[in-house]
Every structure is written in C-alpha cells, then in structure tokens.
Structure 1
C-alpha cells in the first residue's frame, strides 16, 4: 500500500488540483475546526452568519464546477442529528448553491451497508486521502494510491451515492418531522 501523511497545506493542494471528481465521505458527528468555532457559536445563539469564514471553500467549489469538475460529499448523520449536524444542514445550503453535491445517509443505514467509520476523500477515483483527526480536529491526511485499496474506496463511494439522499431533501423531511 502506498501511503504518506500530508499536513494541511499539502492536502489543500490536492483539493485544488483534482482533475475530474473530488468526493468526501464524512462520518463524524461533530468536527471542531478552529475556523468554525465562532460561526457555530453564532448559530447556536441565533445570530446571523454572513458565511465569510466559508467563502474560500464556496469559491473553490464554484470555480471547480464551472470548469466541469465535480465536488461532492456524503455526510453520515446520527439519529437524531447532533447539534453540529443540524448546523451543517443550515450551512450546507450554501455548499449546494455553490455547486457541491451534498448528500446525507443515516448512520444506521451506513452501518447496514458496511460503509467505513472513518473520513476520507476520493480524488479522480485514483487516490484516497484518509483524514486523521485528534479531538475532532483535522490532524493530517494519509494518501493511498494502491489500486486494490482505491478500488475498495470506489466501491464504498458507489454504495454511498446510491443510497444517500440530497441534503436539501433530507433537511426538508427532517424539518417536516420535527413540526
């Protein structure tokens, strides 16, 4: 297996340089990224958010999709969703508006389908970036390029995409159930 650990800056370059498709499997109930701390606090307090903190990502997604490249993710949601995941349902609308295909799969369904319990990106169906976290904060990425291993992740990608629902539909259904 070919692998190495990349710090954040080098991983960011992978996110900019993919050629056709970048797909994320996101399965933690909560992420504690420093850039999200204040926006999350504002959301919890019912204060408005101009999404300035998210603008670089949204611009990157919009540029990629304008160039014909796909940026997508499936988020695994607990039942009921964590407070962080509820926040992501609100914030995620901006991701979708920027062109990102964001979908949701419940944790019980993901387990039943045999999908992994670790986060990763799949780039151009040729490289996998396993994401490592410490105390719910991003700590680095391990790159896998071994064809056999990458095939396993591609299969997981296909299964997840087949069973996940679009974020906005999940959000609409969840809000409807909570009324």
Structure 2
C-alpha cells in the first residue's frame, strides 16, 4: 500500500510509533514557515537562545524518548555547509538534549554510498514516509508499507548510519 499523507496524518505517525522514528535528511535548505524568522536572525548573527519555535518538536522528542522510543537521523551536509545547514547545526544540540541521536554524513560520501537524494522517515521499520520537496518546501509525503521497498530504505539507513559521524564529533572537526 502507498498513499500521500497530510500534515495531520504525519503527526499521527509521530504520536503512534512504538520503537523508532528515523530520518534521512538530504536537502541543502528547508523553507519551513516556522523557521523563517529564526533563520533570518541566525543569518544576522542574532539567533541567541530563543528556541520557542522548536518547543513543540522538542517536547515530542523528549516525551517519546522518556517512554523508551528512539528518535534518530542522519543529516547529509555539504562541505562547506550551506547557510541553512549551519543554522541546522547551531540548533541540533537542542534536539540531542531532548533525546534525538543525530549523525552527520558528507554529501560526497552519501553520493559514493549511492544513497537517495530524497528525505525519508522510517517508523518502526514498517512504515516508510518519503518526503517530496520543491524549491526547499515540502510538497508531499508518500507513505508505504510495501515490505520490499521498506527493506531497500532500511539498507540505505544501515549504510548511512554506519558511515555518519556523531553530531558532537562533527562539531569538533568542522
């Protein structure tokens, strides 16, 4: 089965997963409305400690991880990173403090590993959510429970995870 989700259905996936939510993040820039002002402040050197725009997500991650569920992701990052990727890395420690395990993989290494150039989420290794973007904006989320396709993306996850470096290690070498 595969179909396209709306935002409410994606939120239900986050609320209902039992063991793990894993993300592969490939875009050089995301144009999320909620991040527009914080990103502008970051570019102006004014981001500071105000993370109110992240509160709901951080609460969700923290609640899930306290219940024994895991959140993890691999971020594919250009070298040198784009401005947006630098912004992501500046706020990533907050995600980790909430319980998310973030690793970083260079875009060059991702290409050599033949990893997809598409973002995706794997929920409990049984649901694949492929994220479609246009001009940095999310345009759709395709979800499937097809076992063959999920196994293909689980293999992508294994390759990405095994080659990515933990966020704190990346921060010290970049």
**So what's the TM-score if we normalise by structure 1?**
0.94
Counterpart position of 1:103: 103
* Unmatched 5+ stretches in structure 1: 175-179
2: CA distance, partners of 1:50 / 1:38 = 11
Match of 2:39, SS state, is: helix
Match of 2:139, SS state, is: strand
Between the two proteins, the alignment pairs up a number of residues equal to 173
1: CA distance, partners of 2:7 / 2:140 = 6
2: CA distance, partners of 1:29 / 1:58 = 22
Counterpart position of 2:38: 39
**So what's the TM-score if we normalise by structure 2?**
0.97
Q: CA deviation at 1:63?
A: 0.5
Counterpart position of 1:149: 149
1: CA distance, partners of 2:108 / 2:41 = 30
Deviations 1:138-161 (A, max 9, x none): 122101111111000111111111
* Segments of 4+ moved more than 2 angstroms: none
1:114-125 alignment runs, 5 A limit: 114-125=114-125
Greater alpha carbon shift after TM alignment, 30-39 vs 135-144: 135-144
Greater alpha carbon shift after TM alignment, 129-138 vs 68-77: 129-138
Counterpart position of 1:137: 137
Counterpart position of 2:165: 165
2: CA distance, partners of 1:31 / 1:123 = 22
2: CA distance, partners of 1:89 / 1:149 = 30
